[in-house]
């Protein structure tokens, strides 16, 4: 490894070493100061990623413009989640250095997964951030729901990891290599056989779990509801973003398979249908958003189906905007929860006037998820649907548009609750917002509106990053 490689790898090293530093510093002097320290570490990684546009190729990992884009995006969501958690965790009595240290470790794992060039690093990256989430989901140890969500996520997650491992083993057995570049080109000398097909299906299943695509989605609602709101904000955004980055890395393998297209087609269709229909009947806002994230990932998978017609760009664009909207909505949930979680949708009556900033952030986030302009989600849906229609997948696009119409109902129901119904009982003294919370709400809201009005910089960037599709 030469100095240039080290420079390129530095953001990942900053996060990994930073995680250990936070853990050690917390042992010496615990307290709230670890949150600003962790935010500074993530910010340093982002600045380094942007300021030093180095690329490097190492065994198993290579820093490319693609991986640098995903690192910046994921670190950004990490910063917002950390800002939200700083105040929230203090209110809920979650003390200790575990939270910031584990979050940094998760970001390092995500960066590794998106920079992987072979299946080994890909597996390790995916598993390291999933491990971090096992801990984060159950960070509130004494709460019944936190423990239950952690156990559910753990059992489902380890099973999906084992299936992913089996898939990688079969792909290795059939092709004799773990390198993504060699897998992407099934040479005439060694056409892919049944083993690679079976292995790829198992890998796709393992990734479908991480993206919570139907039929591997059943954990989503329970884990989202049981975890604390800032953790859910990160779990529903960064973990989905990183997993989609991994799917994009593996797309050459999946699209070379005879059945790959059909599998993705059904995953997308079922996710859109199940997610949107189940979200209709929820009374808890976190469960509603969880089912909506199943559906949203269905739309992103629809972009993957339309890969030859520019669908990969659309899917990446979609997941970025979904993540930003998720941060805004879950951020508002975190800010509006005081000493207990504000979970019932009914509990949000009149909140748009009681706490205007949080109400506005939630409304803009929900508009974006529903795909109503000028919020960014409209451009994302537009990109995905136009790619799908260019590809000629009329049925899929029709189902997508119809389910998106259904979805408008349950998103707007929350907005109506926020603004058009009076608060229950006399409004008690409103807790003033902390600076960290204001920043954490303003960033995603501003990004959503900006990208809804002027999306071309991001689209152009994705065009250069994913020239193949």
Among 29, 51, 93, 144, binds another protein (CB under 8 A): 144
Tell me how far, at minimum, the Cβ of 219 lies from another protein, in Å.
11
Query: How far apart are the two ends of the chain, measured CA to CA in Å?
Result: 32
Among 154, 324, 372, 396, binds another protein (CB under 8 A): 154
Backbone angles phi, psi at 63, to 5 degrees: -85, 115
Q: Which two tokens stand for residue 104?
A: 């940094």
**Closer Cβ to another protein, 330 or 378, answer by number:** 330
Interface positions, 71-100, toward another protein (CB under 8 A):
none
Which contiguous run of DSSP H or E holds residue 57?
A: strand 56-58
Among 41, 84, 94, 221, binds another protein (CB under 8 A): 221
Interface positions, 169-208, toward another protein (CB under 8 A):
169-170, 172-173, 176-178
**Closer Cβ to another protein, 91 or 152, answer by number:** 152
How many Cβ atoms are within 10 Å of 357's Cβ, its own excluded? 15
DSSP 430: P
**Residue 231 engages another protein in binding (rule: CB under 8 A):** no
Sign of CA dihedral 223, 226, 231, 237: positive
Among 17, 23, 120, 412, binds another protein (CB under 8 A): 120
**Residue 339 engages another protein in binding (rule: CB under 8 A):** no
Binding region for another protein (CB under 8 A) out of 106-114, 156-164, 254-262, 320-328: 156-164
What is the Cα–Cα distance from 130 to 46, expressed in whole angstroms? 21
What is the Cα–Cα distance from 205 to 228, expressed in whole angstroms? 27
Contact 388, 396 (CB under 8 A): yes
Among 49, 225, 271, 355, binds another protein (CB under 8 A): 225
**Closer Cβ to another protein, 59 or 356, answer by number:** 59
Residue with tokens 């979904």: 322
Backbone angles phi, psi at 207, to 5 degrees: -75, -35
Nearest alpha-carbon partner for 394 in 305, 320, 458? 305
Among 142, 194, 429, 432, binds another protein (CB under 8 A): 142
Q: Which two tokens stand for residue 1?
A: 């490894």
Tell me how far, at minimum, the Cβ of 437 lies from another protein, in Å.
27
What is the Cα–Cα distance from 76 to 88, expressed in whole angstroms? 19
Among 168, 251, 272, 279, binds another protein (CB under 8 A): 168
Tell me how far, at minimum, the Cβ of 220 lies from another protein, in Å.
11
Nearest alpha-carbon partner for 304 in 253, 234, 375? 253
Tell me how far, at minimum, the Cβ of 206 lies from another protein, in Å.
12
Contact 381, 371 (CB under 8 A): yes
Nearest alpha-carbon partner for 331 in 225, 413, 439? 439
**Residue 23 engages another protein in binding (rule: CB under 8 A):** no
Size of the site for another protein (CB under 8 A): 44
**Residue 159 engages another protein in binding (rule: CB under 8 A):** yes
**Closer Cβ to another protein, 344 or 427, answer by number:** 344
Contact 322, 237 (CB under 8 A): yes
**Residue 163 engages another protein in binding (rule: CB under 8 A):** yes
Strand partners of residue 344: 284
Binding characters for another protein, 280-299, by CB under 8 A (x = yes): -------x------------
Residue with tokens 């935010």: 39
Binding region for another protein (CB under 8 A) out of 115-123, 375-383, 428-436, 452-460: 115-123
**Closer Cβ to another protein, 207 or 387, answer by number:** 207
**Closer Cβ to another protein, 35 or 123, answer by number:** 123
Tell me how far, at minimum, the Cβ of 70 lies from another protein, in Å.
22
**Closer Cβ to another protein, 5 or 148, answer by number:** 148
* Strands of 297-433, DSSP E: none
Residue 287 three-state SS = helix
Tell me whether residue 435 is exposed, middle or buried, using C-beta atoms within 10 angstroms of its C-beta: 0 to 12, 13 to 18, 19 or more: exposed
Contact 302, 268 (CB under 8 A): yes
Contact 18, 38 (CB under 8 A): yes
**Closer Cβ to another protein, 163 or 256, answer by number:** 163
Interface positions, 346-405, toward another protein (CB under 8 A):
none
**Residue 421 engages another protein in binding (rule: CB under 8 A):** no
Among 34, 103, 138, 440, binds another protein (CB under 8 A): 138
Interface residues with another protein (CB under 8 A) are: 118-120, 123-124, 127, 131, 134-135, 138, 141-145, 147-152, 154-155, 158-159, 161-163, 165-166, 168-170, 172-173, 176-178, 221-222, 225-226, 278, 287
């Amino acid at each position: 490894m030469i100095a240039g490689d080290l420079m390129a790898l530095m953001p990942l090293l900053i996060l990994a070493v930073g995680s250990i530093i936070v853990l050690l510093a917390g042992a010496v002097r615990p307290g709230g100061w670890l949150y600003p320290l962790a935010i500074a570490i993530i910010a340093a990684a982002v600045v380094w990623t942007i300021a030093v546009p180095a690329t490097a190729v190492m065994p198993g990992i290579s820093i490319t413009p693609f991986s640098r884009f995903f690192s910046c995006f994921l670190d950004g969501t990490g910063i917002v989640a950390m800002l939200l958690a700083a105040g929230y965790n203090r209110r809920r009595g979650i003390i200790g250095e575990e939270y910031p240290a584990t979050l940094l470790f998760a970001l390092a794992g995500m960066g590794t997964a998106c920079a992987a060039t072979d299946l080994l690093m890909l597996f390790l990256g995916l598993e390291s951030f999933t491990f971090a989430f096992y801990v984060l989901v159950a960070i509130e140890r004494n709460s019944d729901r936190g423990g239950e969500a952690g156990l559910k996520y753990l059992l489902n997650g380890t099973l999906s990891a084992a299936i992913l491992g089996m898939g990688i083993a079969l792909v290795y057995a059939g092709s004799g290599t773990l390198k993504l570049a060699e897998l992407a080109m099934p040479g005439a000398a060694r056409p892919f056989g049944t083993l690679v097909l079976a292995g790829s299906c198992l890998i796709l299943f393992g990734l479908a779990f991480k993206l919570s695509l139907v039929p591997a989605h059943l954990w989503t609602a329970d884990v989202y509801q049981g975890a604390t709101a800032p953790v859910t904000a990160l779990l529903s955004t960064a973990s989905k973003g990183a997993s989609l980055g991994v799917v994009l890395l593996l797309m050459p393998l999946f699209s070379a398979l005879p059945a790959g297209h059909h599998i993705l087609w059904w995953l997308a269709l079922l996710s859109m249908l199940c997610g949107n229909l189940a979200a209709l009947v929820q009374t808890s806002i976190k469960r509603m958003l969880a089912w909506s994230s199943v559906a949203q990932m269905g739309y992103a998978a629809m972009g993957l189906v339309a890969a030859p017609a520019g669908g990969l760009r659309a899917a990446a664009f979609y997941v970025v905007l979904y993540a930003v909207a998720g941060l805004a909505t879950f951020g508002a949930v975190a800010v509006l929860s005081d000493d207990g979680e504000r979970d019932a949708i009914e509990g949000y009556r009149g909140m748009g006037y009681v706490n205007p900033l949080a109400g506005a952030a939630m409304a803009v986030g929900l508009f974006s998820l529903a795909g109503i302009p000028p919020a960014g989600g409209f451009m994302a849906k537009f990109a995905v649907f136009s790619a799908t229609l260019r590809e000629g997948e009329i049925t899929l696009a029709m189902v997508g548009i119809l389910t998106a119409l259904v979805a408008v109902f349950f998103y707007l129901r929350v907005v109506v609750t926020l603004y058009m119904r009076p608060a229950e009982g006399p409004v008690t003294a409103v807790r003033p917002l902390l600076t960290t919370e204001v920043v954490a709400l303003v960033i995603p809201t501003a990004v959503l509106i900006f990208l809804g009005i002027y999306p071309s910089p991001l689209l152009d960037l994705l065009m250069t990053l994913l020239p193949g599709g």
